């Protein structure tokens, strides 16, 4: 009998098939036994009746514990009341392994307990739904750039220097060459790629030795970073708008079932359409002051500040032109006001805060040397990067989108720790 995945049952109604999976739940009523099986692609209710299967098969029901692995055989029929809309009339059941007492039960468990059992927690329906949405988000990101002629540029993980400030570097010994650092961002390599291919995207894991224990910070997270030659700050903002609209609409189109499991109110997602509101940092400061928050011009927006600003809008908001002093060395200054950087952040609505950070890049050799000095960064480690300004320098811009914060926002989650299969945080390295 052919093995079929539960998600494909629609085209097998009336057929005798095999499902291989794990026992999610079971109950009995008189001479009927109900088993809910999960196979990774969905849930299926299977019904076994005394008398219609050999007693030996019928009695196997009693041996089955939660998460036991098994094969079930039988005919598929439509059943609107069952989860997934189908049901199997079981003709045979084979046990592969009887599971030991499973530690995760339908009762409430604390988050730390579940995080210690992350390798098993992944099987639970909410976690399953979240990682399916994550998969869809990543697929839509790749589709978006691939469809627009961007070339994927893989950047190294071991790097000789900082990209996003020296305070969050993970350091390691690197043979006879001294210290290496885990990458904080692939951007600088993306810039080299953009000068070779015009438009590229870097997509990979990035690392920050973040001391902050907030619901938005991981020490290892995934970032996608487009970089485009000849784009300025406005082009960059427009790219981000098209990008976010595309991702959210793809999730809405393909993940309705997952969003339902997550009880996500999708009305906030349906409004993610171009144009997104754009405000300057100065305007953002005005909003904070009006809300009675003591905020001094020149400071970076903190988590709470971002929450307050993003709550003013029904869709993501772009904040541009931040004070240069709080931004990275590679950002170009605003020609109209050299105190400002041509930076842009995108803040997600409903209080989720920054999901994108980006800018137009400093393309002038001398100005960039000045920036390196201001940030006390060694010229030697950046000499290759300076070459990009020596040989055919052009205006260019790009941004980085954090995958986990985006998943948290789209799924409506409290904390980024559930958005990645195995989260790494200041206090968690296991499992
Ligand atoms: O704003 P960031 O630091 O920007 C950069 O790294 C640029 N080099 C990107 C570029 O222009 N190519 O980080 C970009 C995004 C943030 O908006 C956030 O979504 C995410 O990366 N991020 C984190 N996500 C989880 N945990 C952390 N510790 C994060 N730090 C940044
Ligand atoms: Mg940022």
For residue 98, how far is its CA from the centre of ligand 1 (angstroms)? Answer: 45
Which residue owns the Cα nearest ligand 1 atom 9? 400
Ligand closest to the CA atom of residue 326: 2
Query: Averaged over 104-111, what is the pLDDT?
Result: 92
Q: Is 185 in the pocket of ligand 1 (CB under 6 A)?
A: yes
**Whether residue 270 has pLDDT greater than 90:** yes
Q: Is 217 in the pocket of ligand 1 (CB under 6 A)?
A: yes
Contact 240, 359 (CB under 8 A): no
Contact 301, 346 (CB under 8 A): no
Tokens describing residue 58:
């019928």
Task: List, in order, residues 6 or more apart from 352 with CB less than 8 Å away.
Answer: 307, 310, 405, 408, 409
Residue 132: what pLDDT? 98
Which residue owns the Cα nearest ligand 1 atom 30? 217
Q: Please give the Cα distance from 229 to 408 (Å, whole number).
A: 31
Testing ligand 1's pocket by substitution, the residue of 215, 359, 402, 428 carrying the most ligand atoms inside 8 A of its CB is 402
Testing ligand 1's pocket by substitution, the residue of 405, 407, 408 carrying the most ligand atoms inside 8 A of its CB is 405
Strand-pairing partners, residue 44, are: 37
Helices (H), 67-186: 111-116, 118-121, 125-147
pLDDT in tens, 368-412: 999 999 999 999 999 999 999 999 999 999 999 999 999 999 999
Ligand closest to the CA atom of residue 402: 1
For residue 44, how far is its CA from the centre of ligand 1 (angstroms)? Answer: 40
**Closest-lying ligand 1 atom to the alpha carbon of residue 223:** 21
pLDDT in tens, 63-100: 999 999 999 999 999 999 988 899 999 999 999 999 99
For residue 317, how far is its CA from the centre of ligand 2 (angstroms)? Answer: 14
For residue 221, how far is its CA from the centre of ligand 1 (angstroms)? Answer: 9
pLDDT band (50, 70, 90) for residue 239: very high
Tokens describing residue 94:
């084979």
For residue 260, how far is its CA from the centre of ligand 1 (angstroms)? Answer: 29
Ligand closest to the CA atom of residue 187: 1
Coil/strand/helix, residue 368: helix
Residue 47: what pLDDT? 98
Q: What is the DSSP letter of 318?
A: E
For residue 235, how far is its CA from the centre of ligand 1 (angstroms)? Answer: 20
- DSSP letters spanning 371-385: HHHHTT--TGGGHHH
For residue 403, how far is its CA from the centre of ligand 2 (angstroms)? Answer: 13
Coil/strand/helix, residue 325: helix
pLDDT in tens, 186-203: 999 999 999 999 999 999
Q: Is 405 in the pocket of ligand 1 (CB under 6 A)?
A: yes
Q: Is 193 in the pocket of ligand 1 (CB under 6 A)?
A: no
Task: List, in order, residues 6 or more apart from 296 with CB less than 8 Å away.
Answer: none
Ligand closest to the CA atom of residue 356: 1
Q: Is 221 in the pocket of ligand 1 (CB under 6 A)?
A: yes
Query: Averaged over 256-284, what is the pLDDT?
Result: 96
Residue 165: what pLDDT? 85
**Closest-lying ligand 1 atom to the alpha carbon of residue 345:** 17
Residue 211: what pLDDT? 86
Question: How much of the chain exceeds pLDDT 70, in percent?
Answer: 100
Residue 210: what pLDDT? 85
Q: Please give the Cα distance from 397 to 199 (Å, whole number).
A: 10
Domains, in order of start, for the chain: 6-97 (2.40.50.140), 118-418 (3.30.930.10)
**Closest-lying ligand 1 atom to the alpha carbon of residue 163:** 8
Q: Is 355 in the pocket of ligand 1 (CB under 6 A)?
A: yes
Contact 83, 36 (CB under 8 A): yes
Task: List, in order, residues 6 or more apart from 273 with CB less than 8 Å away.
Answer: 245, 315
Q: Is 354 in the pocket of ligand 1 (CB under 6 A)?
A: yes
Residue 30: what pLDDT? 95
For residue 202, how far is its CA from the centre of ligand 1 (angstroms)? Answer: 13
Quote the crossing angle between the two packed helices 233-254 and 403-411, to the nearest 10°.
Answer: 50
Which residue pairs, CB below 8 angstroms and at least 24 apart, start in 155-161?
A: 155/183, 155/186, 155/189, 155/190, 155/202, 155/204, 156/183, 156/186, 156/189, 157/182, 157/183, 157/204, 157/205, 157/207, 158/182, 158/183, 159/183, 160/381, 161/377, 161/378, 161/381, 161/382
**What count of Cα atoms within 13 Å lies in the side-chain half-sphere of residue 370?**
9
Neighbouring CB atoms inside 10 A of 31's CB total: 11
Contact 26, 33 (CB under 8 A): yes
Angle at alpha carbon of residue 212, lines to 127 and 418, rounded to 5°:
0
Ligand closest to the CA atom of residue 164: 1
pTM, full prediction: 0.97
Q: Please give the Cα distance from 375 to 209 (Å, whole number).
A: 19
Residue 120: what pLDDT? 98
pLDDT band (50, 70, 90) for residue 212: confident
Which residue owns the Cα nearest ligand 1 atom 6? 185
Residue 228: what pLDDT? 99
């Amino acid at each position: 009998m052919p093995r079929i995945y539960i998600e494909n049952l629609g085209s097998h109604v009336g057929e005798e098939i095999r499902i291989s999976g794990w026992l999610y739940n079971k109950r009995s009523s008189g001479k009927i036994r109900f088993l809910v099986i999960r196979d990774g692609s969905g849930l299926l209710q299977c019904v076994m009746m005394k008398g219609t299967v050999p007693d030996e098969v019928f009695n196997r029901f009693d041996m089955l514990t939660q998460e036991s692995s098994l094969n079930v055989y039988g005919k598929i029929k439509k059943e609107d009341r069952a989860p997934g809309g189908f049901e199997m009339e079981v003709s045979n059941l084979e046990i592969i392994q009887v599971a030991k007492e499973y530690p995760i039960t339908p009762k409430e468990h604390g988050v730390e307990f579940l995080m210690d059992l992350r390798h098993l927690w992944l099987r639970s329906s909410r976690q399953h739904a979240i990682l399916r949405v994550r998969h869809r988000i990543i697929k839509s990101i790749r589709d978006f750039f691939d469809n627009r002629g961007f070339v994927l540029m893989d950047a190294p993980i071991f790097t000789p220097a900082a990209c996003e400030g020296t305070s969050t570097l993970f350091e390691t010994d690197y043979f006879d060459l001294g210290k290496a650092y885990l990458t904080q961002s692939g951007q600088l390599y993306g810039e080299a790629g953009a000068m070779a291919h015009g438009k590229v995207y870097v997509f990979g894991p990035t690392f920050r030795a973040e001391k902050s224990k907030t619901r938005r910070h991981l020490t290892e997270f995934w970032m996608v970073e487009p970089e485009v030659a000849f784009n300025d700050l406005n082009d960059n903002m427009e790219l981000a708008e098209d990008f976010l609209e595309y991702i959210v609409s793809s999730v809405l189109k393909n993940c309705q079932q997952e969003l339902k499991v997550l009880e996500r109110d999708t009305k906030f997602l349906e409004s993610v359409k171009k144009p997104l509101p754009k405000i300057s940092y100065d305007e953002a400061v005005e909003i904070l002051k009006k809300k009675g928050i003591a905020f001094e011009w020149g400071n970076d927006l903190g988590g709470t500040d971002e929450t307050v600003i993003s709550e003013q809008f029904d869709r993501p908001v772009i904040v541009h032109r931040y004070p240069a002093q709080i931004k990275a060395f590679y950002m170009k200054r605003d020609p109209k006001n050299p105190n400002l950087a041509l930076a842009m952040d995108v803040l997600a609505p409903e209080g989720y805060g920054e999901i994108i950070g980006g800018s137009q890049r400093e393309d002038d050799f001398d100005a960039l040397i000045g920036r390196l000095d201001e940030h006390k960064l060694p010229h030697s480690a950046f000499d290759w990067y300076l070459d990009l300004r020596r040989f055919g320098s052009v205006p260019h811009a790009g941004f980085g989108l954090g995958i986990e914060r985006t998943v948290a926002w789209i799924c409506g989650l409290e904390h980024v720790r559930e958005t990645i299969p195995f989260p790494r945080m200041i206090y968690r390295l296991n499992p």
